[in-house]
Structure 1
Amino acid sequence: MAAAPRNPYSEAGVDTAAGDLAVELMKSAVRRTHGPEVLGGVGGFAGLFDVSALRSYAKPLLATSTDGVGTKVAIAQAIDKHDTIGQDLVGMVVDDIVVVGAAPLFMTDYIACGKVVPERIADIVRGIADGCSATGTALVGGETAEHPGLLGPDDYDVAGAATGVVETDRVLGAERVRPGDAVIALAASGLHANGYSLVRHIVAGAGVRYGNHAVDFGTSWGEALLEPTRLYTAQLLRLAGALGDRLHALSHVTGGGIAANLARVLPRGTWADLDRGTWSPLPVFRVLADLGGLELTTTEGTWNLGVGFLAVVAQDAADAAIATLQTDGIPAWQIGVVQDGARPDGEFVHGAKGVDGGAVRLVGAYADTPRDGAK
Structure 2
Amino acid sequence: MSSISYKDAGVDIDAGDALVERIKPLARRTLRPEVLAGIGGFGALIEISKKYKEPVLVSGTDGVGTKLKLAFELNRHDTVGIDLVAMSVNDILVQGAEPLFFLDYFACGKLSLDTAEAVIAGIATGCEQAGCALIGGETAEMPGMYPDGEYDLAGFAVGVVEKSRVIGGQNIVPGDVVLGLASSGAHSNGYSLIRKLIDVSGIGLKSDFHGRPFADAVMAPTRIYVKPLLALMQKLAVKGMAHITGGGITGNLPRCLPEAVAAKVDPASWMRPPLFDWLQQAGNVEPAEMLRTFNCGIGMCVVVSAADAAAAKAQLEAAGETVWQIGEIVARPEGAEQVIYS
Give the TM-score, by structure 1 length: 0.87
Matched, 1:194 2:189: yes
Residue among 305, 312, 318 paired with 1:321:
312
Query: 2: distance between equivalents of 1:333 and 1:224?
Result: 22
Query: 1: distance between equivalents of 2:105 and 2:182?
Result: 29
What SS class does the counterpart of residue 230 from structure 2 fall into? helix
Residue among 126, 144, 152 paired with 2:147:
152
Query: 1: distance between equivalents of 2:332 and 2:10?
Result: 63
Residue among 218, 226, 230 paired with 2:219:
226
Matched, 1:278 2:269: yes
User: Percent of pairs identical after alignment?
Assistant: 43
Residue among 10, 19, 24 paired with 2:16:
19
Matched, 1:236 2:251: no
Matches within 5 A, 1:67-86: 67-86=62-81
Contact 1:111 1:156 survives alignment (8 Å): yes
- Superposition CA RMSD, Å: 1.6
Query: 1: distance between equivalents of 2:32 and 2:331?
Result: 46
Distance apart, 1:41 and its partner CA = 3.7
Contact 2:267 2:341 survives alignment (8 Å): yes
Match of 2:61 in 1: 66
Instruction: Give the residue type in structure 2 aligned to 1:45.
Output: F
Matched, 1:309 2:300: yes
Unpaired runs of at least 5, structure 2: none
Query: 2: distance between equivalents of 1:166 and 1:282?
Result: 34
* Further displaced range: 109-118 or 171-180: 171-180
* Further displaced range: 297-306 or 319-328: 297-306
Per-residue deviation, residues 175-207 of structure 1 (Å, max 9, x unmatched) = 121221111111101000000010011111223
Matched, 1:255 2:246: yes
Distance apart, 1:342 and its partner CA = 3.6
Contact 2:32 2:132 survives alignment (8 Å): no
Residue among 306, 325, 338 paired with 2:329:
338
Instruction: Give the residue type in structure 1 aligned to 2:272.
Output: P
Query: 2: distance between equivalents of 1:250 and 1:360?
Result: 14
Contact 2:59 2:159 survives alignment (8 Å): yes
Instruction: Give the residue type in structure 1 aligned to 2:308.
Output: A
Query: 2: distance between equivalents of 1:123 and 1:103?
Result: 26
Aligned residues: 341
Matches within 5 A, 1:39-54: 39-51=36-48, 53=49
Distance apart, 1:153 and its partner CA = 1.7
What SS class does the counterpart of residue 289 from structure 1 fall into? helix
What SS class does the counterpart of residue 151 from structure 1 fall into? coil
Distance apart, 1:294 and its partner CA = 2.5
Matched, 1:114 2:109: yes
Matches within 5 A, 1:87-236: 87-210=82-205, 213-236=206-229
Distance 1:221 1:341, change over 3 A: closer
What SS class does the counterpart of residue 7 from structure 2 fall into? helix
Distance apart, 1:279 and its partner CA = 1.3
What SS class does the counterpart of residue 174 from structure 1 fall into? coil
Instruction: Give the residue type in structure 1 aligned to 2:144.
Output: G
Match of 1:294 in 2: 285
* Further displaced range: 226-235 or 11-20: 11-20
Distance apart, 1:80 and its partner CA = 0.5
What SS class does the counterpart of residue 165 from structure 1 fall into? strand
Query: 1: distance between equivalents of 2:238 and 2:213?
Result: 40
Matched, 1:267 2:258: yes
Contact 1:285 1:296 survives alignment (8 Å): no
Distance apart, 1:231 and its partner CA = 0.6
Matched, 1:361 2:332: no
Contact 1:173 1:248 survives alignment (8 Å): yes
Unpaired runs of at least 5, structure 1: 350-358, 364-375
What SS class does the counterpart of residue 83 from structure 1 fall into? coil
Query: 1: distance between equivalents of 2:252 and 2:213?
Result: 31
Query: 2: distance between equivalents of 1:133 and 1:362?
Result: 36
Matched, 1:32 2:25: no
Instruction: Give the residue type in structure 1 aligned to 2:222.
Output: T
Query: 1: distance between equivalents of 2:217 and 2:12?
Result: 33
What SS class does the counterpart of residue 265 from structure 2 fall into? strand
What SS class does the counterpart of residue 361 from structure 1 fall into? strand
Query: 2: distance between equivalents of 1:99 and 1:249?
Result: 7
What SS class does the counterpart of residue 14 from structure 1 fall into? coil
Distance apart, 1:291 and its partner CA = 1.9
Give the TM-score, by structure 2 length: 0.95
Distance apart, 1:333 and its partner CA = 1.4
Distance 1:180 1:149, change over 3 A: same
